């Protein structure tokens, strides 16, 4: 049987390498020195030091410096008293501001900012209908016309006819006339209804009157009526 001559060396190296990593990490870990302990804020990033700007000029101050001295000896020949008096005499008097009082204690408020002054009537567009309302009315009219056209087209397809105002009034008068005739027959009934034919005739007249009243109410309520063509 063949045996390699490198077997002992391989076993020796394997044992040597395994023995060093038997624990978690290297067997010998360098221990930090007790003098190098963790200090406060030692791990925070440090900003670079601020450089001194020596050549930068200071901004000009509006206030005079302490070392500055005022200019002496300048005098004006203007008579401010007479000038102010002339300005007051020739000046226009001040108009009092309009105010309003809303309490009996006499509390005063400015009238202009109160909302009582009708400033809105001076606007250029005062009393003019807004554009969006005009546009909305036009859209409504156009939609109504389209709806009526579609209804008419639908009725034409279904062979429907619209009654004119004269035909509607004549139909309404005819129904009222029929109701009067039925009501006249109803009043001609005998006071005592003691037979079955009389009772049935009375019920028939009542049904006819109810139907005629319903038809009259429908025609009076609806201005537009469509009927099927015969």
Binning pLDDT at 50, 70 and 90, where does residue 213 land?
Answer: very high
**Domain ranges across the chain:** 161-227
Binning pLDDT at 50, 70 and 90, where does residue 121 land?
Answer: confident
Average pLDDT rounded to a whole number, residues 205-214: 91
Instruction: Look at residue 230 and tell me whether its pLDDT is greater than 60.
Output: no
**pLDDT of the residue at 83:** 92
* Separation of alpha carbons 11 and 16, rounded Å: 8
**pLDDT of the residue at 198:** 87
**pLDDT of the residue at 87:** 92
């Amino acid at each position: 049987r063949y045996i390699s001559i490198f077997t002992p060396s391989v076993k020796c190296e394997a044992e040597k390498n395994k023995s060093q990593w038997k624990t978690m990490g290297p067997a010998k870990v360098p221990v930090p020195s007790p003098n190098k302990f963790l200090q406060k804020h030692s791990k925070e990033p440090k900003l670079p030091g601020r450089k001194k700007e020596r050549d930068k000029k200071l901004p000009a101050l509006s206030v005079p410096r302490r070392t500055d001295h005022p200019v002496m000896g300048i005098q004006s020949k203007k008579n401010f008293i007479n000038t102010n008096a002339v300005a007051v005499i020739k000046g226009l008097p001040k108009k009092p501001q309009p105010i309003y009082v809303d309490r009996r204690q006499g509390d005063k408020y400015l009238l202009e900012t109160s909302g009582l002054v009708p400033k809105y009537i001076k606007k250029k567009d005062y009393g003019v209908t807004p554009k969006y309302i005009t546009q909305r009315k036009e859209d409504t009219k156009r939609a109504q016309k389209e709806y009526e056209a579609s209804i008419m087209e639908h009725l034409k397809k279904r062979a429907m006819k619209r009654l004119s105002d004269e035909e509607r009034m004549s139909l309404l008068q005819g129904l009222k006339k029929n109701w009067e005739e039925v009501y006249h027959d109803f009043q001609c009934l005998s006071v005592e209804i003691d037979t079955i034919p009389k009772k049935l005739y009375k019920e028939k007249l009542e049904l006819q009157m109810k139907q005629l009243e319903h038809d009259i109410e429908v025609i009076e309520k609806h201005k537009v009526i469509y009927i099927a063509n015969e």
